[in-house]
Amino acid sequence: MNIAVNLTPAELALGGMMLPHARMEDWRWTNLRTLIDRPYPPGGKIAVAAKEIARLRDTSPLARMPAARLVFVNGAFSQGESRFPASGEVGIRPGLPRLSASDEPVASLNANFATDGLTLTIRSGANIDTPIELLFLATDADPRTIATRVAVDIGAGASATLIETFAGEGSYLANSAVSIALGEGARLDRVTLERQAPGAIHLADRDVTLQGRAVLRDFTLTAGAKLNRQNARYTLAGEHADARIAGAYLLGGRQHADTRLVVRHAKPHCTSREIFKCVMDDHARGIFQGKVIVDPGAQKTDGKQSSHALLLSETAEFDAKPELEIFADDVVCGHGATSGDLDHNHLFYLRSRGIPEREAKAMLVAAFVEEAFETIGNDHIRAALGEIATGWLASRGGAS
């Protein structure tokens, strides 16, 4: 690292930690040194009225869904606000879990500044039907860094649905690290809903490991925050593990979202799919960087990734960087990326049947992202998130 660099105000507020910049390959489109233009000092405790928390919680489209809810308010785990899982097969241990050493910048920030967290364990063989939601709320207060850390351990043969919801108001930098271990034959349906405040910054680091025959269905909706960077590493560490990783962006204004996925096939006969559907309007910028690594000996790997962008304005932008690193010789791997605007023939067809332009565009946006939403196994969650997609254009005054 270049010690001659003048630290930015944001870096000084973070105790002199240097933020990632455009000369780092993974960060070429997301230069945090320039994009984070004010200090976000690591936060102390903030007192919040219960009424305020309830109000914020109820803005979630999943608020009325039956779920166990583990609530973090401004980076502190709030047991009082939480509804613990009824099942005795789910264990919850408050406190910061250990983070595996990493020089990844988002993980490093978390290692330095995480204030609270929990460890969630699901006993081997347990089938947990009721979804478990981790709800991270930020209230309107001075700009600050809010960092949390969660570890999830799903025992062999167990199954569960885990939701991570991020919401808030005001100006803050949220840093969230989550590590997930799926045991042999475990199944996890994971849904992330990022609808942070419009003035917020969202930095996430995910580390997911699948043992043999484990099945992961992973969906992330990126809709909030002015600046979003989501890193995730998936390791298929046992034979016949199967990961389907999907995401959708709904970005307008000057929103910036960058997802960086690394899927590592460490053992033979594993399957991975990445499918990202990104919608950008106004001056929004979306980035998708997906890397698939096939280790030596990981034969019969089946790995595919695709990213598709829908650009609703001339000034919106999308960048895709697919990468394959293959060290085995009997594999099927592929990637694809497309970008385009709304199909005018589709639009005319809908309008010729009496559907007003705004509504027709909204239908086509929802249709575009649908394939990614199909990854969500739970009908309630898919419907609730689908409504966000359908209502998105109207909620922000529509595309030009």
Partner 1 sequence: MILNGLSLTVNAGEVHAIMGPNGSGKSTLSYVLSGREGYVVTQGSVTYRGQDLLAMEPDVRAAKGVFLAFQYPIEIPGVATMQFLKVALNAQRKARGEKELSTPDFMRLVKARAAKLGVSQDMLKRAVNVGFSGGEKKRAEILQMAVLEPSLCILDETDSGLDIDALRIVADGVNALRSPDRAMIVITHYQRLLDYIVPDVVHVLSQGRIVKSGGKNLAHELEERGYAQFEKDAA
Question: Minimum Å distance from CB 368 to partner 1?
Answer: 6
DSSP state of 27: G
- Helix, strand, coil shares of the chain, percent, nearest 5, are 20, 45, 40
Told to check if 342 binds partner 1 by CB under 8 A, we report no
Told to check if 368 binds partner 1 by CB under 8 A, we report yes
Question: Minimum Å distance from CB 125 to partner 1?
Answer: 37
Selected binder of partner 1 within 348, 383, 387, 395 (CB under 8 A): 348
Question: Minimum Å distance from CB 345 to partner 1?
Answer: 5
In angstroms, rounded to a whole number, what is the distance separating the alpha carbons of residues 381 and 221?
12
In angstroms, rounded to a whole number, what is the distance separating the alpha carbons of residues 17 and 33?
11
Q: Which of residues 44-73 bind partner 1 (CB under 8 A)?
A: none
In angstroms, rounded to a whole number, what is the distance separating the alpha carbons of residues 313 and 46?
40
**Strand pairing class (302-311; 256-265):** unpaired
Told to check if 327 binds partner 1 by CB under 8 A, we report no
| Closer Cβ to partner 1, 132 or 248, answer by number | 248
Question: Minimum Å distance from CB 360 to partner 1?
Answer: 8
**Segment contacting partner 1 (CB under 8 A): 137-145, 174-182, 333-341, 348-356?**
348-356
Q: At what angle do helices 379-395 and 357-373 cross, to 10 degrees?
A: 150
Told to check if 345 binds partner 1 by CB under 8 A, we report yes
Told to check if 184 binds partner 1 by CB under 8 A, we report no
Non-local CB neighbours of 144 within 8 Å, separated by 6+ positions: 40, 41, 42, 43, 172, 173
CA end-to-end span of the chain: 44
| Closer Cβ to partner 1, 296 or 340, answer by number | 340
- The amino acid at 71: V
Q: At what angle do helices 344-352 and 357-373 cross, to 10 degrees?
A: 120
Told to check if 357 binds partner 1 by CB under 8 A, we report yes
Selected binder of partner 1 within 26, 87, 371, 382 (CB under 8 A): 371
| Closer Cβ to partner 1, 80 or 354, answer by number | 354
Told to check if 355 binds partner 1 by CB under 8 A, we report yes
**Segment contacting partner 1 (CB under 8 A): 81-89, 95-103, 297-305, 356-364?**
356-364
Per the CB < 8 A criterion, the answer to whether 49 and 80 are in contact is no
Which spans of this chain sit near partner 1 (rule: CB under 8 A)? 344-346, 348-357, 359-360, 363-364, 366-368, 370-371
